[in-house]
């Protein structure tokens, strides 16, 4: 994780941090399609998003067999 992302995660509410950790684990285990998350949708070609908390959103994409997650 980059230091910038680490700083953002520390600013998040605890419930959003927990959801983000679970999301990352789920993506690692079963791939990018994570329909069990709040407001999950496919945004475009290999790009997805869901809500971690009311005003916290995670987006992820598959780039050359790697997943990049942004908050």
Q: Where are the domains of the chain?
A: 3-70
For the chain, the average pLDDT equals 91
Strands of the chain (E only): list them: 41-44, 47-53, 56-63, 66-70
**Strands laid side by side in the 56-63 sheet:** 41-44, 47-53, 56-63, 66-70
The highest-level CATH class for domain 3-70 is alpha beta
Strands 56-63 and 47-53: antiparallel
**Full-model pTM:** 0.86
**pLDDT tens track for 9-24:** 899 999 999 999 999 9
């Amino acid at each position: 994780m980059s230091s910038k992302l680490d700083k953002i995660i520390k600013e998040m509410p605890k419930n959003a941090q927990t959801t983000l950790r679970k999301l990352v684990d789920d993506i690692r285990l079963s791939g990018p399609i994570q329909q069990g998350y709040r407001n999950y949708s496919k945004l475009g070609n290999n790009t997805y998003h869901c809500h971690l908390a009311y005003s916290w959103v995670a987006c992820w994409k598959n780039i050359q067999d790697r997943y990049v997650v942004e908050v």
